[in-house]
Each structure stands twice: as C-alpha cells, then as structure tokens.
Amino acid sequence: MKKKNNDIITIDLLKKKVNSYTKKDWPIIFKAYNYALKNHEGQKRESGEDYIVHPLTVAYLLSTMHADYETICAGLLHDLIEDTMVTYEDIKKEFTDDIAYLVDGVTKFSHLNFNNKDEFMAMNIRRIIVSMRDDARIVIIKLVDRLHNMRTIEYKKADRQKEIALQTLEIYVPLAYYIGAYDIKCELENLSFMYLKPKEYHDLAKQLNTIYNNNKKMLNKMIQETKQKINNEGIKATLEVRYKDFYSVYKKIITNGITLENIHDLLSIEVITKNKKDCYLTLMYIHEMFVPLNFKFKDFIAKPKTNMYRAIHTTVFGHNDRLVQFQIKTKEMERIATYGLTSYWFRNRNMAKYAMQNDLENNFQFFKSIKELDSTIADNIEFVKLVKRELFSRNVYVRTTSGEVIELPLDATPIDFAYKIHTDLGNSMIAAVVNEKIVSLDYKLQSNDRVRIIKDDSVYVDRASWLNIAVTTHAKKKIMEYIKDTNKE
C-alpha cells in the first residue's frame, strides 16, 4: 500500500500503475472510471470530496496489488448499485457478467429486507464471508473498500467511529489474515486500535518509536554485515528493517503479560533472496554470524502457515544484546505475504475461475471451514457468532502424523481434529494419541501437538456423549448425522 491516508489519487496515477503490468486492459478500466464518474456526479463524501475519489482510490489500491482488470473495474463500480440508480443488469450490459457479479457481491442488502439492524448487519457480513467460496476477489474488493473508509474515518461521529473500528477488528482483520493480505491486515488493525483505544495507542506508539529510533543504527549495521557476508558467498539479496505493527505488539503485551523488552520479534530484518536454496544458505550464514535463539526458529517454507505464508524466521542475539528476528523469503513469497490471494490470483490468472476456486479451497483451510459452517447454520446472527468463535478467535495449530498443519479453534479436542480430517475418521474413532501418549477425548489440543487417531469400526462408542465434548459446529453436525443414521439402522 503505497498511497496512505489522504493522498489524492488521480486517474493518471491509476493508469500509470495499471500500465506497469498490463496495458491491454486499460481501455475497459477507463470506461469503468467514466461510467462511475458520470453516475456518481453530484454526490459527496462526508469529507466534502467528490464521491468518485473513493472508488478511484479503491481501484488504485487494487492495482498496487496487481489485481486483474475485472477486479479493478469492480472497484471503480462497487458502490453504483447501492448508491445510484444503476442496476445489476445495467452493469452486465455495459461490461461483463463477471464484473457485474463482483459488483453485486460487494453490494449491501437493503434495510427494507430485515426486521432489525443486527439481522441486517449479520446478513451483509455473511454475504461477504461466504462469497469467498464462489469468487475470492469479492472479499479482496471489500477489504480494500474498508481500508479506504478506515483511512478517512475521522469524518464520522465518535460513536460511529468506534462501531466501525470494532467491526473492522472483529471481521475484516481476520479476513485479511486468512487470505494472507498482511499489509491490509496490519493497517486495519492499527487504525482500529487508534480509534478504539486512543490513549493506549498513542502511549505505545511513543514507546515503540523511541525503541525503533534507538536501534536504527544497530540494525543498519547488522544489515551491512549480513549483506556483505552473503554477497561474498555469491548470494544476491535485498535486506531492510521491518518494524512490528503497534496492535500486534499491544496484543502480545495484553495476552501474554510480557514487557516490550521481552518481545523477541520487536526488531526484524527482512531478507529477500533469489530462490529457496538461497534462503537456506542465508540462514546458515546468519547463524554463523549471530548466535540463534534456538526455540524461536520456525521454518514456514517447509511447512507454510494455513494462509500460505512462507518464510524462515530465526531470532538471534544481535548487537548491543538486542534480540533481532530475521525473516528470510524469496521475492515470490514476499509478494504472497504482502498481497495474499490477489498475488495468488495474479500468478494463476490463466487458470479457469472454477479451477482457481478449487485450488484455493485445497490450499487454504479457511475456505473449507467457511463452506462447512455455511451449510450447517441457517440463522445469520448465529453464523457470524460462530465464525468469530471458531475461525476469527485465537486458534491452535496441530499436526498430523505426516506433519500437515491443521487449524482448529481454541479448546478443540481430538474429536474436532478427527472430523476436520475426514468424516469417516471421526465416525470410526475410538481413541487419540497426542505426542505419542494416549489422551482422553476431552483433551484440549495445544499448538504443535502431533495427533494420531486410532479407529476401529467394530468397537461400540457412545457418540452422543461426544456432543458435549466437541467444540466445532462441523464435528457436532457430523456426530448428529451419525447418530441419526445409526438409529435408523
């Protein structure tokens, strides 16, 4: 995200950005701009600016993420159905079916269809979340839309600011995390933090800025030494300082009860190499230069996070006795880490849409979890509540015997794990082994636990009692289905 806050975006800036990676699509994007300009004519934002500033900025931010032309066009047109006389059919006629579908996907329902505000908000949130199953670009547009609205939230009334900031923190930040859009996630977190807890935000910002300023020379020295070392070994790489975002630091202090001095990744150096082999070689040379903190080493290249983030993290004792984290990745890994699914979509843009969606569901566990909840829960308010609890709250990350990482909500049990892997595994489960020890089925799984399920179809198990043990809605649904089918037999 290059342009921040109130920087003015012009159509010329958008053209320059789009033409930097795809000139052939500019005519239809320019057509979408003129169409939005004409139909938003006379409308103003609460800031007093012409309304076109908002969709133009959304489109520009999407272009910085290398979004395809349909996504950028939808960014320009995304408020037309909701705020003007333009209809879905109008957009479909003027542009393409896909562009019209994307615009419709980010359009809110009318208040007239609902009995109360909570139901209205829940349905719109559900619509955004569930849209990922059909076209992930809808969520990307909505995230960028929310980002620009958060950047200009100072024009709202104080109570409305807090309401929007809280919803952003509870819904949009986790969505950004799950699709791997790190830059958007961090900025949304920090903006929400600033409006929800202004005193804590400014106090922490002051402390962190002091720490960062005091360690700037030390970090630059480490960068120079590391770069010289790996260059001498034939590795070409770019290195730069990365500072942890304010809200992430605040969460660690509140959740873990630790001080700033004890946060091991407060100061970080990012290393971007040419290929995966150079990542591992760079790691070796860094450990030759600086003593590593062994228990703070993580290889997300060999085993990516569930949102497909890949990098090697190692924390070392740097100069002046300060802990410094190195994040080592390739340029492609950095692109995915920064822009998430948009980068993934751009890289595979020649793939058919249905094939892309299937590929995303196979690679991102979040897609499968959303599908499971949507097929189980009819009530919109209950659906949003369960998404917050099971997907957007603190999670645990456990491993199968083959090393695959499985994401589960806090307090999940081996029963939840088994049904997450496969329904048949849950239905034939009789016991669980965690870290080579048999555990009770109500055992609360912890991150990094290695889980093995023992199954035997010939052994009778009272699965009705599991309903009080399982945590996830998916597991409970499958248990109920099993009991119902067994009773029929």
Catalytic residues: 82-83
- At 422, which amino acid appears? H
Question: What is the separation, in whole angstroms, between the first and last Cα of the chain?
Answer: 59
**DSSP 8-class letter at 227:** H
Question: Whole-angstrom Cα distance, residue 450 to residue 447?
Answer: 9
**DSSP 8-class letter at 215:** T
Question: Whole-angstrom Cα distance, residue 334 to residue 311?
Answer: 8
Question: Whole-angstrom Cα distance, residue 284 to residue 288?
Answer: 6
Kind plus residue range of the DSSP H or E element containing 452: strand 451-455
Note every long-range contact of 481-486, with CB atoms under 8 Å and residues 24 or more positions apart, other chains counting. Answer: 482/426, 482/427
Show Cβ contacts of residue 23 under 8 Å, excluding neighbours closer than 6 positions: none
Question: Whole-angstrom Cα distance, residue 342 to residue 67?
Answer: 6
Question: Whole-angstrom Cα distance, residue 226 to residue 183?
Answer: 26
Residue 175 tokens read as: 């969505």
Note every long-range contact of 187-190, with CB atoms under 8 Å and residues 24 or more positions apart, other chains counting. Answer: 187/1, 187/147, 187/150, 187/245, 188/143, 188/146, 188/147, 188/150, 189/245, 189/246, 189/247, 189/248, 190/245, 190/246, 190/247
Question: Whole-angstrom Cα distance, residue 63 to residue 74?
Answer: 12
Residue 108 tokens read as: 């809110």
* Nearest partner of 105 among 83, 126, 86, 84, judged by Cα: 126
310, 329 contact by CB (below 8 A): yes
Beta bridge partners of 270: 240, 327
- At 457, which amino acid appears? D
Residue 334 tokens read as: 């950095």
Question: Whole-angstrom Cα distance, residue 96 to residue 353?
Answer: 14
DSSP 314-338: EEEE-GGG-EEEEEEEEHHHHHHHH
417, 468 contact by CB (below 8 A): no
